Amino acid sequence: MRAFAETWPDLVIVQQLAAQLPWFHNCVLLDKVKDPVGRQWYAEQAILNGWSRNILVMQIESDLYRRQGKATTNFQATLPSPESDLAQQMIKDPYNFDFLTLANKAQERDLERELLAHLRQFLVELGVGFAFVGSQVPLEVGGEDFRLDLLFYHLKLRCFVIIDLKVGPFKPEYAGKMNFYLSAAYDLLRHPDDKPSIGLILCKSKNGIVAEYALRDVGKPLGIAEFRHLEKLPEQLKGTLPTIEEIEAELALS
């Protein structure tokens, strides 16, 4: 209680933030977040998004405060204010896919398959407002078939969000490809009441300067962010740990 009073000395702040959170949420904030600005940010987000205590802990441990809004984008040049600010805060960098385990030689389809298999965790990491529309969504342009890796709709921005997955480093030509997808989506998917679609390129790594140059003259709203994930166990360790089948058999006997 003394720590709580020292942390929230302003009565107005107490009523607006701390008093709106369950006691154990406040205990988590006091225990895990030492930076006052970061603590207030997590409190605001917990109230705004209705985070459970476990979700709050997960977001703190994933360092969401320092990742939110950090993606390389051209939103200031391609979207009106305040829509550009909301779109910037919608995207983070890097994205935390620690709920996945992928081999070093995994391909884009492997990443997509795993994200869809863990869609709930994927949506939590994307953040509030994202609604899943589909994967490998077809677009027919000029008699040719193209497919969007992942398609979402953002309920607050009122627009489609196209996600292109890359398991390697970012390359400038990826921005041109996404610009093409956004132009096609504007004609083929967008409802007249929808806002302009946003593109997000998720890659294993990126050079910040290269990414900024790649977006400089792109006319559609586009963001570039990295993702991280767990690696699969090295081959030499696999034989030292029990398989899933062995664990299940052992549990059946107990």
Q: What is the mean pLDDT of each run of 10 residues along the chain (254 residues)?
A: 63 58 85 89 86 89 91 95 93 93 85 95 93 96 96 96 97 97 94 95 96 95 93 51 51 55
207 touches 170 (CB < 8 A): yes
- Check residue 22 and give its pLDDT: 84
DSSP string, 82-141: THHHHHHHH-BSSEEEEEEEE-TT--HHHHHHHHHHTHHHHHHHH-TTEEEEEEEEEEEE
Report CA-CA distances (Å) from 211 to 4, 134, 176: 43, 27, 12
Neighbouring-strand partners of residue 164: 201
- Check residue 58 and give its pLDDT: 87
- Check residue 243 and give its pLDDT: 47
Q: How many helices, marked H, and strands, marked E, lie in the chain?
A: 14, 7
Give the single-character DSSP code of 223.
E
Give the single-character DSSP code of 169.
B
- Check residue 185 and give its pLDDT: 94
Query: Distance (Å, rounded) from C-alpha 115 to C-alpha 108?
Result: 11
Query: Distance (Å, rounded) from C-alpha 176 to C-alpha 224?
Result: 12
Q: Which residue has the tokens 């360092």?
A: 63
Q: What's the pTM value of the predicted model, to 2 decimals?
A: 0.79
